[in-house]
Amino acid sequence: MNIGFLGLGTMGLPMAANLLAAGHTVRAWNRSPAPAQALHERGGQVVSTPAEAGAGVDVLISMLADDEATRSTVLDMGVLAALRPGAIHVNMATVSVALAVELAALHQARGIDYVAAPVLGRVNVAEAGQLNILAAGSHQALQAVQPLFEVLGQKTWVLGERPEQANAAKLAVNFMIASAIGSMGEAATLAQGHGVAKADFLELVTSTVFAAPVYQGYGKAIAEERFEPAGFKLALGLKDVRLALAAAEQANVSLPLASALRDAHIESLAHGEGHLDWAALSRTAARRAGQV
Q: What is the mean pLDDT of residues 35-54?
A: 96
Task: Return the pLDDT at 144.
Answer: 98
Q: Where in the chain is the domain with CATH 1.10.1040.10?
A: 167-288
Q: What is the mean pLDDT of residues 148-153?
A: 98
Report phi then psi at 275, rounded to 5: -85, -10
The architecture in CATH of the region 2-161 reads 3-Layer(aba) Sandwich (3.40)
Report phi then psi at 7, rounded to 5: 100, 100
Please say whether the beta carbons of 1 and 24 come within 8 A. Answer: yes
pLDDT at 292 over 90: no
CATH topology for 167-288 is N-(1-d-carboxylethyl)-l-norvaline Dehydrogenase; domain 2 (1.10.1040)
> 155, 170, 220, 239: which one is catalytic?
170
| Strand 88-91 relative to strand 59-62, pairing | parallel
Q: What is the mean pLDDT of residues 152-174?
A: 98
Cα separation, 115 vs 137, whole angstroms: 5
Q: Where in the chain is the domain with CATH 3.40.50.720?
A: 2-161
- The model's pLDDT over 116-149, given as tens digits with 9 standing for 90+, comes to 999 999 999 999 999 999 999 999 999 999 999 9
Q: What is the mean pLDDT of residues 42-67?
A: 97
Cα separation, 221 vs 177, whole angstroms: 14
Q: What is the mean pLDDT of residues 244-270?
A: 98
- Computed over every residue of the chain, the mean pLDDT equals 97
- Residue 106 CB contacts under 8 Å (≥ 6 apart), including other chains: 75, 80
Task: Clarify whether 170 is annotated catalytic.
Answer: yes
pLDDT at 241 over 90: yes
* Percent of the chain with pLDDT strictly greater than 90: 99
- The model's pLDDT over 13-42, given as tens digits with 9 standing for 90+, comes to 999 999 999 999 999 999 999 999 999 999
Q: How confident is the model at residue 247 (pLDDT cuts 50, 70, 90)?
A: very high
On the 0-12 / 13-18 / 19+ scale of CB atoms within 10 A, 234 is buried
